[in-house]
Amino acid sequence: MRDKDNITERQGNKCWKCGDPAVIHRKYEGKSWCSEHFTEQFESLVKGTIRENDLFESDDKVCVALSGGMDSSALLFFLSDLFKDWRNADLFALAIDEGIEDYRDESIEIAEELCRDLGVDLHIASFKEAFGKTLDEIMEDKEYGCTYCGVLRRWLLNRKSRELGATKLATGHNMDDELQSIFMNYLRGNMNRMVRLGAKPAVLDNEKFIPRVKPFRDTPEREIALYGRLRGIDLHQTECPYVDNSLRFDVRDFLNDMEAKRPSTKYTSLRAFDKLLPALQNMFSGDDSSVKECDFCGEITSGDICKTCQLREKI
Ligand code: SF4
Ligand SMILES: [Zn+2]
Ligand SMILES: [Zn+2]
């Protein structure tokens, strides 16, 4: 079978550092790693992303957006370990319950179990409570899908994490997510959204906005999955019934094919974007005076009424 991400978990290979059996061979660097050295190197790379981008302050109160999927679960695991040595920092998790029968119930159970094991407080905010309807009920009338769900989700994450006193909102976005977003925004010509990418997206100058951070942004998805498995994290495998990411999936397949044919394409294109980003931000960021507060809900928006309130009218 073709190895789409150039990461092969093989038996028979030896770790280049210690000679123990390898759990992964990375074609893009030509090395195999055993579980111990892979885990050690994975964690050190993520710490490098955190350090280079100044993702956290020593007294931050960090909210991890926890979906029950592998990326955010592995992130919570990693940060709960890292923050043990940070005496003034605090960490908690926030799960959004959109109200998707069977799918979200199962992932919330996994999130609860993980938080119990790690001793991390978990808060749950639901669409039903915030918007009066579950996603299942919203979907009964109209075909909304991910874009709309994402708008409501971001609104709720920002408001709830702020109410809980968070100073940062950490998400499990990985290198593959980031590259897909870069290419999608490019294909759509959406430069204003493209310049809001990065491990520490530009902060809006408004106290109602909780700054986002993405510690796994330089890490391939499949390596996070391997790290999570090696750390014993349970995986939520069911797919959301409303997923409609056709452009994202096309871009994902294109990038995976390119990586299979030309190992390290993903790394080089992400690094190229990082070099361009400061110049793009100067050209397309606009100024913060365009950040207003929504006439209805008071959350930040670029117009008079935020997208969430416009949607609420319809649903
Ligand atoms: S896959 Fe799309 S519709 Fe489903 S929870 Fe995620 S954003 Fe919402
Ligand atoms: Zn080794
Ligand atoms: Zn609003």
CATH number at residue 233: 3.40.50.620
pLDDT category of residue 86 using cuts at 50, 70 and 90 = confident
Is residue 201 over pLDDT 70? yes
When comparing pLDDT for 41 and 89, which is higher? 41
What is the structure's pLDDT at 143?
Answer: 67
> What total of structural domains would you count in the chain?
1
Atom of ligand 1 minimally distant from the CA of 245: 2
Residue nearest to atom 6 of ligand 1 (CA): 146
pLDDT of residue 307: 92
CA angle, corner 254, sides to 250 and 258, nearest 5?
Answer: 170
Whether residue 142 is contained in a domain is answered as yes
The residue range of the domain holding 103 is 46-255+262-278
In a domain, 165, yes or no: yes
d(CA 232, CA 204): 37
Residue 238 confidence (pLDDT): 79
pLDDT, mean over the chain: 90
Q: Say if 31 falls within a structural domain.
A: no
Where is pLDDT greater, at 122 or 193? 122
Direct distance between the N- and C-terminal alpha carbons of the chain, in angstroms, rounded to an integer: 45
User: Considering the domain boundaries, does residue 92 fall inside one?
Assistant: yes
Structure tokens at 49: 């992303």
What angle separates helix 221-230 from helix 175-188, to the nearest 10 degrees? 160
Indicate whether residue 286 lines ligand 1 (CB < 6 A): no
DSSP secondary structure code for residue 290 in this structure? G
Radius of gyration, alpha carbons of the chain: 20
Span 158-168, average pLDDT = 97
Shortest-distance Cα residue to atom 7 of ligand 1: 146
55 three-class SS: coil
Helix (H, G, I), strand (E, B) or coil at 33: strand
In one-letter notation, the amino acid at residue 265 is: T
Average pLDDT over residues 87-112: 91
Inside any domain, residue 309: no
Asked, for residue 201, whether it belongs to a domain, the answer is yes
CB of 98 closer than 6 angstroms to any ligand 1 atom: yes
CA of 86 to the centre of ligand 3 (A): 36
CA of 306 to the centre of ligand 3 (A): 4
Pocket flag, ligand 1, residue 149 (CB < 6 Å): yes
Place 10 in a pLDDT band, splitting at 50, 70 and 90: low
Query: Would the pTM count as exceeding 0.85?
Result: yes
Strands 7-8 and 24-26: antiparallel
Query: What type of residue is 76?
Result: L
- Is the predicted pLDDT of residue 4 greater than 50, yes or no? no
Residue 11 falls inside a structural domain: no
> Which atom, in ligand 1's list, is nearest to the CA of 242?
3
Is residue 273 situated within a structural domain?
yes
